[in-house]
Structure 1
Amino acid sequence: MAESVARLDVGTEIRFGVPPSDWTICSELVAEPTRFDLWRKDLAGWMAEQYGESDDRATAGYVMGWYLHVPAYLAGLLFHTARRVPSLKPSDIAFRICAEGRPHPDGLAVLSDEFACLPDDPASNHPAATVVANEAALAGLLRARYAAHAAQFVASFGQVVRFGRRTLWAAATDMLEYAPWAAGRVCGDETAGVTDAALILPEKLDPFVSASTLHLTDEGWKRRRRSCCFHYVLPNAAPCTACPRTCSAG
Structure 2
Amino acid sequence: MRTTTSLQLVTDTRRDHLAGSVARAGSRQARTQLRMGLPADSTGWVNCGQLLSDTAGFAAWRTGLADWLLERYGDAPERTTAGYIMTWYLGVPGYVAALLFHHERRVPSLRPEHLAFRTARPRPHPDSIAVLDPRFVCLPDDPAAGTPEATVVPDERALAAVLRGRFTAHAARFIAAFSPSVRFGRHTLWAAATDALDDSMLLAGRYGGDEGAGVDDAALLLPAHLPPLTSASTTRPAELDRWTRRRESCCFHYLLESGKGPCSTCPRVLPK
Q: Same fold by TM-score, threshold 0.5 exceeded?
A: yes
Residue equivalent to 1:111: 132
Aligned partner of 1:139 among 142, 160, 177: 160
Write out aligned runs for 1:227-238 (5 A).
Answer: 227-236=249-258, 238=260
Gaps of 5+ in 1: none
Residue equivalent to 2:91: 69
Q: Is the 8 A contact 2:110 2:170 kept in 1?
A: yes
| Letter of the structure 1 residue corresponding to residue 247 of structure 2 | R
Distance in 1 separating the partners of 2:259 and 2:96: 29
Distance in 2 separating the partners of 1:122 and 1:236: 54
Q: Residue 200 of structure 2 aligns to a residue in which SS?
A: helix
Residue equivalent to 2:4: none
| Letter of the structure 2 residue corresponding to residue 112 of structure 1 | D
Change (3 A) 1:212 1:130: same
Aligned partner of 1:31 among 39, 45, 53: 53
Residue equivalent to 1:166: 187
- Aligned residues: percent identity? 52
Residue correspondences, number? 248
Aligned partner of 1:181 among 169, 179, 202: 202
Q: Is the 8 A contact 2:90 2:196 kept in 1?
A: yes
Give the superposed CA RMSD. Answer: 1.4
Superposed CA deviations along residues 89-142 of structure 1, whole A, max 9, x for unmatched, are: 0000110011x2111000011100010000000011220111000000000000
Q: Within the alignment, does 1:153 sit opposite 2:174 as a pair?
A: yes
Aligned partner of 2:141 among 110, 113, 120: 120
User: 1:236, CA displacement in angstroms?
Assistant: 4.2
| Letter of the structure 2 residue corresponding to residue 110 of structure 1 | V
| Letter of the structure 1 residue corresponding to residue 149 of structure 2 | A
User: 1:237, CA displacement in angstroms?
Assistant: 7.5
Distance in 2 separating the partners of 1:125 and 1:155: 36
Q: Within the alignment, does 1:244 sit opposite 2:261 as a pair?
A: no
Q: Return structure 1 stretches of 4+ with deviation > 3 angstroms.
A: 235-239
Distance in 2 separating the partners of 1:223 and 1:62: 18
User: 1:78, CA displacement in angstroms?
Assistant: 0.2
| Letter of the structure 2 residue corresponding to residue 2 of structure 1 | V
Q: After superposing the two structures, state which structure 1 stretch, 133-142 or 26-35, moved more.
A: 26-35
Q: Is the 8 A contact 1:72 1:175 kept in 2?
A: yes
| Letter of the structure 2 residue corresponding to residue 5 of structure 1 | A
Distance in 2 separating the partners of 1:90 and 1:24: 11
Q: Residue 159 of structure 1 aligns to a residue in which SS?
A: helix
What is the TM-score of this pair, normalised by structure 2?
0.88
Change (3 A) 1:248 1:204: closer
Distance in 1 separating the partners of 2:132 and 2:106: 15
Distance in 2 separating the partners of 1:7 and 1:248: 34
Distance in 2 separating the partners of 1:68 and 1:162: 17
Change (3 A) 1:12 1:114: same
Distance in 2 separating the partners of 1:182 and 1:153: 22
Q: Within the alignment, does 1:14 sit opposite 2:14 as a pair?
A: no
Change (3 A) 1:248 1:7: closer
What is the TM-score of this pair, normalised by structure 1?
0.95
Distance in 2 separating the partners of 1:37 and 1:198: 35
Gaps of 5+ in 2: 1-20
User: 1:249, CA displacement in angstroms?
Assistant: 4.2
Aligned partner of 1:226 among 243, 248, 252: 248
Superposed CA deviations along residues 178-212 of structure 1, whole A, max 9, x for unmatched, are: 11110001100000000000000000111101101
Q: Is the 8 A contact 1:181 1:197 kept in 2?
A: yes
Q: Is the 8 A contact 2:48 2:116 kept in 1?
A: yes
Q: Residue 98 of structure 2 aligns to a residue in which SS?
A: helix
Distance in 2 separating the partners of 1:97 and 1:218: 33
Q: Within the alignment, does 1:54 sit opposite 2:76 as a pair?
A: yes
Q: Is the 8 A contact 1:33 1:159 kept in 2?
A: no
User: 1:144, CA displacement in angstroms?
Assistant: 0.2
